[in-house]
Chains A and B, each alone.
Chain A
Amino acid sequence: MIVRELLLAIGVSLKTSGLAALIASLLAVPAALFLAGREFRGKHAILLVNQTWMAAPTVVIGLLFYFLLSRSGPLGRFGLLYTQAAITIGQVFLILPLITGFSYMALRQVDRRARLTALTLGASRRQASWVVLREAKFALLVAVLAGFARAVSEVGIAMMLGGNIRNATRNITTAIALETAKGEFTNGVILGAILLVITLGINILVQVGLRSRD
């Protein structure tokens, strides 16, 4: 595998999974904030569905979106199948329950007085919600990074929705699958190590960045 191909695969992994983590976080964190701050009928059912969804195999999500995005599917006219966008969409649905669940747990851990204190000091309800998010920022970060790690390491969605097209939708995991299928185990192990190093590097960068600001 030439270096250029390797770099492209790394780029596809970072781009699709990073974007998926960002989009899923923008949806999941407000949802978790809503769930953590309120008691209402049906809340436990929502949490149960979320937990079940967390265990969904990547190939099942891949298959579902394959039907949706394929030419004859309801979203076929957008021509997204076998594109990086398709991988991102699938990965968003994969990690959405994970980030929601972890964020919910993180926000439940925040002292309930934090929100009240913000309100007593004159914060609007929106500002008080920001305070709660800020108090839980490290735990929320772990939730987002866990989502990213899940997305960047999955292979089922990337393979089914991306098609493992060379220099286009091939990412690290599909490249590992291909190299292993070809019997190039050394290449597969090297790619696996690169994946771990990338994830580790991102974790360290974000943690250091946040701690220095705190």
Chain B
Amino acid sequence: MSKAAYDLHDVRYIYPGSLSGFALEIDSLRIGAGESIALVGPNGAGKTTLLMVLAFLVKPDPGRIEFLGEDPWADEARTLLARREAVLVTHHPYLFKGTVSENIAFGLRVRGVTERDWPARMRAALALVELSGRESRSAAGLSAGQAQRVALARALALRPKALLLDEPTANIEAGLALRIEAVIREISRETGATVVFSSHNFSQASRLADGILYLSEGKRVPFSHENCFSGTARSDGRQSWIEPRPGTRIVFPGAFEGHVTCVINPADIELVGADDPRGAADGPNVFSGRVTRLETTEAESALVRVSGELTFRGTLPLGSVEARGISLSRPVLIKFKPEAVEIIGSEPSEKPHD
């Protein structure tokens, strides 16, 4: 087992004065040194709050955190040292007034890095984000995408032991987003830095991360790849839908646009035999298929895989398997309510041009 970069135990954090009732509650979390971890979850799941905790910008109460084997909250000096080793790039990064180089120099200056080393570090960091030669540009004149990349370069120049990125490709056009993804991979591989990033894009998280941490309502929740679908959402204002495959439509409440990833809990899926009168194909989210796998679980229930237009996995009590006419290779109908669809990621389809 590699050395831990982060070790969190019974961490809880509530924003002071918060009336929303939101609380980040992490029972246990270990992130190995050099690992790349993605935080995935819907808006309000606690991804940014967890990143703030990992960047030592907010102190959990109660809770115990170890960073590289030490308690970063032991005293003010250690907190400052820890903050200098774990650099967070926020979702909508702020650039200080002045030039790009002045922005990058800030972190170097507060760390006491000798000025002789600044130009080389700046050049290397800007080259990584494809902004070479922009050192003297005014930060105020940069596009949102360029600002995001300068913020990333500003963090990279500091060579932190942990790089924390809050939706690092959120404001960047698709082509450059791929470059940023490559940078994240390179950092992790070549510098040995621990990288923790949040993303709405499940496929991006899968591509980049050694592990995915799924958060919901401030808590770690087990993530299953079962019944995970994604596609471009359309909406009539009241409901939205995606078509994972042509002719299939998964409907869910709310107005969404852009790329959406959703999951359906197997327990929320109703399975009935195709000739069962309860299987009338009315309403949304009704699919047909054949049972391709049927297995019993320890919880006196059966796990059923149904393959058809889409493949679903559902569970039902053992006793009702036969009563519903479900057996291997038999045609069945899959039904679930729109409310059973949980959105775990959404990304606007239109990105600002860079």
Contacts from A to B (Cβ < 8 Å): 39, 111, 113-114, 116-124, 127, 131, 134-135, 214
Query: Which 7 pairs show the lowest CB-CB distances between chains A and B?
Result: A113-B94, A122-B84, A121-B107, A120-B88, A117-B94, A123-B110, A122-B110
Q: Which residues of A contact B111 (CB under 8 A)?
A: 122
- Residue from B90, B97, B110 within 8 A of A135 (CB atoms): B97
Ordered by A's residue number, 10 sampled pairs between the chains whose C-beta atoms are within 8 Å are A111-B94, A113-B92, A118-B106, A119-B83, A120-B88, A121-B154, A122-B87, A122-B158, A127-B110, A214-B97
Interchain CA distance A19-B106 in the complex, whole Å: 33
Shortest CB distance B97–A (Å): 6
Taking A123-B106, A135-B96 as known contacts, 6 extra A-B pairs with beta carbons closer than 8 A to each other, sorted by chain A number, are: A119-B57, A120-B57, A121-B87, A121-B106, A122-B158, A127-B110
B89 sits at the interface (CB 8 A): yes
Q: Which residues of B contact A121 (CB under 8 A)?
A: 87, 106-107, 110, 154-155, 158
Shortest CB distance B181–A (Å): 21
B55 sits at the interface (CB 8 A): yes
Q: Which residues of B contact A135 (CB under 8 A)?
A: 96-97
Contact of A120 with B96 in the complex, beta carbons under 8 Å: no
- Residue from B57, B98, B107, B154 within 8 A of A116 (CB atoms): B57
Q: Which of B82-118 contact A (CB under 8 A)?
A: 83-84, 87-90, 92-94, 96-98, 106-107, 110-111
Main secondary structure on chain A at its contact with chain B? helix
Shortest CB distance B167–A (Å): 15
B80 sits at the interface (CB 8 A): yes
Contact of A122 with B55 in the complex, beta carbons under 8 Å: no
Interchain CA distance A118-B110 in the complex, whole Å: 9
Q: Which residues of A contact B80 (CB under 8 A)?
A: 122, 124
Interchain CA distance A114-B145 in the complex, whole Å: 19
The residue in chain A whose Cβ has the minimal distance to the Cβ of B160 is: A122
Interchain CA distance A120-B158 in the complex, whole Å: 11
Shortest CB distance B273–A (Å): 57
- Residue from A39, A119, A127, A131 within 8 A of B96 (CB atoms): A131
Shortest CB distance A139–B (Å): 12
Interchain CA distance A121-B107 in the complex, whole Å: 5
Contact of B98 with A214 in the complex, beta carbons under 8 Å: yes
Contact of B90 with A120 in the complex, beta carbons under 8 Å: yes
Interchain CA distance A127-B84 in the complex, whole Å: 13
Contact of A124 with B110 in the complex, beta carbons under 8 Å: yes
Contact of B94 with A114 in the complex, beta carbons under 8 Å: yes
Interchain CA distance A127-B111 in the complex, whole Å: 11
Q: Which residues of A contact B97 (CB under 8 A)?
A: 134-135, 214
Q: Which residues of B contact A113 (CB under 8 A)?
A: 90, 92-94
Q: Which residues of A contact B155 (CB under 8 A)?
A: 121
Shortest CB distance A14–B (Å): 31
Interchain CA distance A113-B95 in the complex, whole Å: 9
Q: Which residues of B contact A124 (CB under 8 A)?
A: 80, 110
The residue in chain B whose Cβ has the minimal distance to the Cβ of A122 is: B84
Q: Which of B151-165 contact A (CB under 8 A)?
A: 154-155, 158
Interchain CA distance A134-B88 in the complex, whole Å: 22
Q: Which residues of B contact A214 (CB under 8 A)?
A: 97-98
Contact of B87 with A120 in the complex, beta carbons under 8 Å: yes
Interchain CA distance A119-B164 in the complex, whole Å: 13
Q: Which residues of B contact A123 (CB under 8 A)?
A: 106, 110
Q: Which residues of B contact A119 (CB under 8 A)?
A: 57, 83
Interchain CA distance A114-B139 in the complex, whole Å: 13
Q: Which residues of A contact B110 (CB under 8 A)?
A: 121-124, 127
